[in-house]
Structure 1
């Protein structure tokens, strides 16, 4: 080896040794400075509310790495009590534990010289976050004497800027405790959270950067599962996974459930009254162009698209239990939406393959019947309670298709006047060909009436309504309609009498086709006055039923005529009974006299 290379190698060795010595010296002597800066940063940025402690700090200045183990960020309860007394305490209080925190490639010299902190990455292992929420009315005040400081304003006394390339949080756990005025708490928790944040910048301009959410360009989060039982014990909610991406502005929930925690018998026994029992499930619920900042800070739901796919919405009632009459005027879905205090604005809701089922237990016959709208698919547009948006277009619209009882193709369109004081709305639609016997699933158990035969060729309706009345036209094309009256389980009847009664109804009361035997086509002219205690959907059904009865030849006039005939027949029977009794009395008296 030539002597010159010996000198070069020797000089490099000396430089490495010197750098190692400097690094060792700085690691030993800068460590107290770093600790002091960390404590001061936490103190100044939280108004002395929190204290930072840790078990060990390992720092390699040459590489710019710092590792903290068993980190604790705890609130000072005495400081919090003083803040409450001064009406300055926040509603949220955090208690954080971190098993290991690694900071890689930070520039400590630049931090000390320019008061700027640049970090390549931060890794947090198994953080445990406990959030306690306690409501303080003074935090609802719009104008406060002391406006809340931004994160930059909290750190600018120590640093001019902070830039972090990436933050990774693995296997995190989160627990929320909500305290009410009586200090009674409710709790729920999440485990195994994974969160990644990229390109974090905190300086005097970052807060105004609309491309950032809380100083970050991107937050990705994955929550593997969640389940919560409501405090009243009637329902529980769960989902299999939640994924969010703030840069793409998307939120994805899979296997979403809102279902009863009790079976039907236990549910109604505990309630003691006939309330609607709901069971909802969706395979996916996907939101696009979601404003996360509005959602987090103001609980406003603002999105461009929401997709709900593959699931069911099953509603159930039990008429064996009493139902407390409640005035339902003003309780239509669009009216309830307008009363939501927080802003909701969704351009379009896409519904795909949702089974909508309503079932009921008969209070008289103790049998379950149901009607189903299978595979409901379509769109709901302009879903909002924002009056500024509604001033440009005041209608929420729904365009939906489904199979009634899994057979007939139904296409229905709804419009809701969101600004109407009387709940104005319209609905029109068509139902394709199907067998009428499919409706026995609801007619037989609930009304004790069955359809023996019947071909529905088509239905068309166009109805407009308010809170008080529905008007419109109903067209019902059908043929070969025959019904069977069933025996009352509590009052057994002879088969022959039931056959006769069914024959009379089919021959004298209903038309077996439309057009009828005289080739007259019946159109239902709906003019239905709402019963105030009926819900929006029950009133909708009652209005359609009014049209069905008219097209089947059972007009109000005809109903009244048959009622009058029934009364005449009843009076005739009573007179016959009276005459019979008188005759029996006459003969008894006659024979008695002869015997004497």
Structure 2
């Protein structure tokens, strides 16, 4: 009996030892086999899928058969310049050229059973560590209507399907060079810290037909830090501190947006050689919700139901010591600039919060800079777009704002832009009450060589209609106790000083101290302004309002 048990025990131990030895042999032989198969499959698939344009290389491959893990180190995907030139000559070159590398690519949870018996690549995750991507976008005319193979057609000879639970790109260094405009230098966009996660990736014959999936995935989310993008103008820099996006939530958020001039206000027009509008933009937070994800990722167009802009600065300044730009017939209005922009956008509603708007000029006659500004600006913009289909459906873009003029007077204003008008038609207006007129001295001293000694506005109501050529205004201004000083520049000191005689003439003869005057009807200001070629949008509005105010303050009856 004991002999029988010993035989069974020896048989079990022998079988176990044999299986253990076989496992050791397989653990040594299978990785080598699969490494060779994987190596051949990678190289062959890259060459075949790219018509020999690309080659893949790497420093090494490690495979863990029991866990289904693999790691590829020092991966590089490089284009063959000779093949690319040949493809260009044959009019068969792609629009985009890629140069990619990564320190490490880790594959987790690969199902060898699915791969061997069903030609299906199924894995739990892919982690790409510190990838560097350089992409050159140089579109070719012959590619516009050219039929292309689908992603599934490219893999179908080797695999029936690819399923990956999660793909992560960690700390991407991304450079995009745009060569669409051959008349200009290529525009470069750089993302130094980009993090990308793709979940639920499925590529098979059926997933191509699933319109609910984006790039064959359930969700694509990205976060980028320290973005520096081309501004389209060498005098500016365009930066974003952080950008985040989720296709599942259809939300795009940007923090700390800067569109900054590289030169100071005194140096900007000097470098240009003419009086140029210097634009300074800064916003703490911008958030787009219900984004059209496919248009954003596939067409690089931003369409959303809602856009929120929080805590911003819009500062426009002009140095009029310099002549007008000789190469420019006229300055475009904001809606005209929007319509000419290359990037298509569309927002049903834009909400502006806590923004400061400033317009300033440096007057060569006084050598001083005067500015009007609006603090704590809150408002809404409806139908902000440059898309022709949207414009055809609704050509009106309307802006409503509440703000504080010169930090004190509460102003309610509106703008209506006709997006379908070739003449740049727009209208605007505003209402303000209870305003101390001495608050405008910073503007009137520099730009009109006059200062307000006293005066209080009880009501201001104006409406302007304008186009690219001219503007007209109807203005009601009710005020009391207006007194001004006429100024001149002192030849010795260069400072402004009072002109006593002219000030007395202005207050006693020229100006109306009150409106309405006792026993007389309220005077209404009316006027027309022919737009100067170098007159910008903000300048024209300020100029037109000034003409209306002057008509009330100086006007006599219908003259």
Q: Specify if TM > 0.5.
A: yes
Match of residue 310 from structure 1: 311
Match of residue 172 from structure 2: 172
Q: Bigger shift: 162-171 or 461-470?
A: 461-470
State whether structure 2 residue 109 is matched by structure 1 residue 105.
yes
Q: Deviation of residue 64 (structure 1)?
A: 0.9
Q: Deviation of residue 17 (structure 1)?
A: 6.0
Match of residue 152 from structure 2: 152
Output the CA distance in 2 between the equivalents of 1:496 and 1:197: 68
* Alpha-carbon distance change, 19 to 319 in structure 1, aligned in 2, over 3 angstroms: same
Deviations 1:484-543 (A, max 9, x none): 0113223899x9992232121111111111111344311223454545553333333333
Match of residue 521 from structure 2: 520
State whether structure 2 residue 84 is matched by structure 1 residue 80.
yes
Assess if the C-alpha contact under 8 Å between 1:54 and 1:68 holds in 2.
yes
SS state of the match for residue 484, structure 1?
Answer: strand
Alignment of 1:123-522 (within 5 A): 123-139=127-143, 141=144, 143-144=145-146, 147-178=147-178, 187=188, 189-227=190-228, 233-324=234-325, 326-328=328-330, 331-340=332-341, 342-471=343-472, 473-490=474-491, 498-522=499-523
Output the CA distance in 1 between the equivalents of 2:302 and 2:101: 32
State whether structure 2 residue 100 is matched by structure 1 residue 96.
yes
RMSD of aligned alpha carbons: 3.0
* Alpha-carbon distance change, 373 to 182 in structure 1, aligned in 2, over 3 angstroms: closer
Q: Bigger shift: 212-221 or 306-315?
A: 212-221
Assess if the C-alpha contact under 8 Å between 2:473 and 2:544 holds in 1.
no
Output the CA distance in 2 between the equivalents of 1:339 and 1:190: 26
SS state of the match for residue 240, structure 1?
Answer: strand
Match of residue 119 from structure 1: 123
Q: Deviation of residue 410 (structure 1)?
A: 0.8
Q: Deviation of residue 460 (structure 1)?
A: 1.1
Assess if the C-alpha contact under 8 Å between 2:316 and 2:359 holds in 1.
yes
Match of residue 35 from structure 1: 39
Output the CA distance in 1 between the equivalents of 2:193 and 2:219: 20
SS state of the match for residue 403, structure 2?
Answer: strand
Match of residue 593 from structure 1: none
* Alpha-carbon distance change, 472 to 128 in structure 1, aligned in 2, over 3 angstroms: closer
Deviations 1:435-468 (A, max 9, x none): 0001001111222100000111121123334444
Alignment of 1:15-26 (within 5 A): 18-19=22-23, 21-26=25-30
* Alpha-carbon distance change, 116 to 496 in structure 1, aligned in 2, over 3 angstroms: closer
Match of residue 75 from structure 2: 71
Assess if the C-alpha contact under 8 Å between 1:45 and 1:151 holds in 2.
no
SS state of the match for residue 224, structure 1?
Answer: strand
* Alpha-carbon distance change, 265 to 462 in structure 1, aligned in 2, over 3 angstroms: closer
Structure number, greater radius of gyration: 1
Higher helix share: 1
Q: Bigger shift: 23-32 or 336-345?
A: 336-345
* Alpha-carbon distance change, 54 to 492 in structure 1, aligned in 2, over 3 angstroms: closer
Match of residue 578 from structure 1: none
* Alpha-carbon distance change, 499 to 375 in structure 1, aligned in 2, over 3 angstroms: same
Assess if the C-alpha contact under 8 Å between 1:245 and 1:251 holds in 2.
yes
Output the CA distance in 1 between the equivalents of 2:68 and 2:488: 88
Deviations 1:139-167 (A, max 9, x none): 3x3x23xx122211111111111010011
Match of residue 588 from structure 1: none
Deviations 1:281-312 (A, max 9, x none): 11112122223432343332211111111121
* Alpha-carbon distance change, 72 to 529 in structure 1, aligned in 2, over 3 angstroms: closer
Deviations 1:5-27 (A, max 9, x none): 98999677876665554444322
Alignment of 1:539-550 (within 5 A): 539-550=540-551
SS state of the match for residue 364, structure 1?
Answer: coil
In structure 1, list runs of 5 or more residues that go unmatched. Answer: 559-596
* Alpha-carbon distance change, 233 to 534 in structure 1, aligned in 2, over 3 angstroms: closer
Q: Deviation of residue 368 (structure 1)?
A: 1.4
Match of residue 571 from structure 1: none
Output the CA distance in 2 between the equivalents of 1:319 and 1:85: 52
Output the CA distance in 1 between the equivalents of 2:190 and 2:519: 70
SS state of the match for residue 551, structure 2?
Answer: helix
Assess if the C-alpha contact under 8 Å between 1:44 and 1:155 holds in 2.
no
1:44 equivalent among 45, 48, 51: 48
State whether structure 2 residue 66 is matched by structure 1 residue 62.
yes
Q: Tell me the TM-score normalized by structure 1.
A: 0.85
Deviations 1:395-445 (A, max 9, x none): 111011111111101111122222234433322321121100010011112
* Alpha-carbon distance change, 367 to 8 in structure 1, aligned in 2, over 3 angstroms: farther
Q: Deviation of residue 251 (structure 1)?
A: 1.7
SS state of the match for residue 113, structure 1?
Answer: helix
Output the CA distance in 2 between the equivalents of 1:443 and 1:47: 70
Q: Deviation of residue 68 (structure 1)?
A: 0.8
Assess if the C-alpha contact under 8 Å between 1:522 and 1:553 holds in 2.
no
Output the CA distance in 1 between the equivalents of 2:12 and 2:472: 99
Assess if the C-alpha contact under 8 Å between 2:487 and 2:498 holds in 1.
no
